[in-house]
Structure 1
Amino acid sequence: MNYEIALEISYDYPDAVKDARHILRVRPRVEPGQRVSSISLAVSPKPDELVTERDFFGNQIDHVFIEPSHEEMSVTMKARVAVGRATFDLDATPAVGDLIDVANGSRLSNASAPAHFLSDSRIVRAVPAITAYARDSLDFSAPAGEAILAFSRRIQKEFKYDPEATEVDTPLEVAFRQREGVCQDFAHIMISALRGVGVPAAYVSGYIRTIPPPGKKRLEGADAMHAWVAVWLGAKIGWRGFDPTNGILALNDHIVVASGRDYSDVAPIDGVLITAGPHTTTHTVDVKPLDEIPLGR
């Protein structure tokens, strides 16, 4: 699939901001199965410094410094991306129990090593009730691919998607207990559950193509940044995406931006600034398949 993606994030501050420093993680990754053919990034006010680099996990990040006083800030990212991930045989994956043994015995230390995604991280930690939920859900003798997809479908079925139920800093124990939340919550819960039983799991942030109901047009700007889970399925198959919000594999409708141990590693924007009072923010994403774009554009 070929996509045109547009992201806009804007902030309105109650008082003037000076010496603002931000870290942006909004550019789609270049990785196997995903190619970026064009990309542009605009920040307003124009930054005094803008430095692009890659972090330990291979995510492309932009360091932004804005010195003059400003009461508004906006980030606009546009990109064209081709996604063509190879499918894999769920039955050919190791049994869950065997996968756990191999993952915990791995001596790899590179960025994609399972060791980085087995322990507690800044936001995600092992919670006895969530670990028990995983043990109750997973057949440890079944192929891991099948078992983990079934687990993601259980989360999709039993948890209610409700943007009003949680905030960005709501503890995962709360979201798990109330069985409500958004994609970030469901990804954190699934990661905690899998790590709790010894399966390596990472947090993935990105964009997802939303498919409208039959006979309806896709809404411009109706998409948002999405979150799902990457699970290590052994050295042969590697990392594969599972989307607990939708109960599906993360394949060609998912565009990866960043991957890490939890949301704190991949937040689209971090920063340090001084102002007074609460600010307001808007965040819109449009993911458009290129075959929907009129000729001549």
Structure 2
Amino acid sequence: MIYDLSLNIAYDYPAAVKEARHVLRVRPRELEGQSVRSTRVTVTPQPDEAWRELDFFGNALDQLLILPGHDAFSVAMQARVEVRRALPDLEATPTVAELAAAAATARDCGPAGPMHFLGDSRMARKSEAVTAYARDLIDPASPAGEAVLAFACSMKADFQFAPGATTVDTPLEEAFARREGVCQDFAHVMIAALRGVGVPAAYVSGFLRTSPPPGRPRLQGADAMHAWVDVWLGPDLGWRGFDPTNGVTVLDDHVVVAVGRDYSDVAPIDGVVLTAGSQKTSHSVDVIPVGELASEA
């Protein structure tokens, strides 16, 4: 599947910003099963300094410095990405117990090394309640791939997707106790649960293709920036994606932008601004299959 992607993020400030330093993570990644054909990022106002680099996990960063006073800031990203992921054989994976043992002894210090995704991170800390939830649902003797997918499906059934019920700073323990939240909360709970039983899990930020109800036209900006979980299934199969919000294996409807230990590693915009008052923000996303775009023209 080939997609044309667009992301627009805008900030309005009640008082002029005197200086701003931003870190953007909005460019889709080049990965196995995902090929980036083109990407363009436009920032307003024009930065005084701008440079690109990769972070430790291989995510593309745009570093910006804006010095002139400004009362608004916006980012626009357009990209064309081809996604063709093979369906993994989840049955042909080590058992959960075998996987946990392999992860505990793994010594790969590279960005994809499972050791980085086993312990607590800033926003995904293990807890007794979340670990107990995982132990009730995950059989150590089951193939790990099947067990993880079943766990994602259980989360979809047990938790309510409730926009506005949480914020970006809501602790995962609170979202877990309330059994509601958004994709970020679902991902953090799943990560903490899997790490609690010894399974390496990473946070993924990206785009999700959504479809309108039958007979309804597709609306611009109706797609969402999304979050899901990558799980290490052993040295043979490696990292595979699972979406607990939708209870599915990640295939061609998901486009990866950034991977990290939790949301704090992959936030689309980080940085520091010198201003006063509460800022307002808005964003919109479009994920359009290229064939669909041509048929609508």
TM class by shorter-chain length?
over 0.9
Residue-pair matches, total: 297
- Tell me the residue number matched to 1:227: 227
C-alpha spacing 1:133/1:251, structure 2 compared with 1 (3 Å): same
- Tell me the residue number matched to 1:267: 267
Calculate the aligned-residue CA RMSD, in Å.
1.0
**Does the 8 A contact of 1:7 with 1:77 survive in 2?**
yes
Cα distance between partner residues in 2 of 1:190 and 1:61: 26
- Tell me the residue number matched to 2:172: 172
- Tell me the residue number matched to 1:126: 126
Return the offset for 1:296.
10
Given the two structures, how large is their TM-score scaled by the length of structure 1?
A: 0.98
- Tell me the residue number matched to 2:247: 247
Return the offset for 1:292.
1.1
- Tell me the residue number matched to 2:71: 71
- Tell me the residue number matched to 1:54: 54
- Tell me the residue number matched to 1:189: 189
Cα distance between partner residues in 2 of 1:63 and 1:220: 29
**Does the 8 A contact of 1:228 with 1:244 survive in 2?**
yes
**Does the 8 A contact of 1:93 with 1:143 survive in 2?**
yes
Q: Partner of 1:100: helix, strand, or coil?
A: helix
Cα offsets for 1:172-213 (capped at 9, x unmatched): 000000001000000000000000111000000000000222
Return the offset for 1:218.
2.0
Cα offsets for 1:209-245 (capped at 9, x unmatched): 0022222222210111100000000000000000000
Structure 2 counterpart of 1:268, one-letter code: P
Cα distance between partner residues in 1 of 2:37 and 2:173: 41
Cα offsets for 1:6-46 (capped at 9, x unmatched): 00000000000022000000000011111111111000001
Q: Partner of 2:216: helix, strand, or coil?
A: coil
Moved more, 164-173 or 217-226: 217-226
C-alpha spacing 1:295/1:176, structure 2 compared with 1 (3 Å): closer
Cα distance between partner residues in 1 of 2:98 and 2:107: 16
Cα distance between partner residues in 1 of 2:2 and 2:90: 26
- Tell me the residue number matched to 1:36: 36
Structure 2 counterpart of 1:231, one-letter code: V
Structure 2 counterpart of 1:278, one-letter code: S
Query: Unmatched 5+ residue regions in structure 1?
Result: none
- Tell me the residue number matched to 2:26: 26
User: Percent identity between the aligned chains?
Assistant: 60
Cα distance between partner residues in 2 of 1:296 and 1:287: 14
Q: Partner of 1:283: helix, strand, or coil?
A: strand
Q: Partner of 2:133: helix, strand, or coil?
A: helix
Cα distance between partner residues in 1 of 2:181 and 2:130: 15
- Tell me the residue number matched to 1:87: 87
Q: Which runs of 4+ in 1 moved over 4 A?
A: none
Q: Partner of 1:186: helix, strand, or coil?
A: helix
- Tell me the residue number matched to 2:104: 104
- Tell me the residue number matched to 1:278: 278
- Tell me the residue number matched to 1:215: 215
- Tell me the residue number matched to 1:3: 3
Structure 1 counterpart of 2:212, one-letter code: P
Return the offset for 1:294.
2.8
Return the offset for 1:295.
6.4
**Does the 8 A contact of 1:224 with 1:283 survive in 2?**
no
Cα distance between partner residues in 2 of 1:49 and 1:5: 26
Query: Unmatched 5+ residue regions in structure 2?
Result: none
Cα offsets for 1:133-171 (capped at 9, x unmatched): 000010111111111000000000110011111010000
Q: Partner of 2:229: helix, strand, or coil?
A: strand
Q: Partner of 2:111: helix, strand, or coil?
A: coil
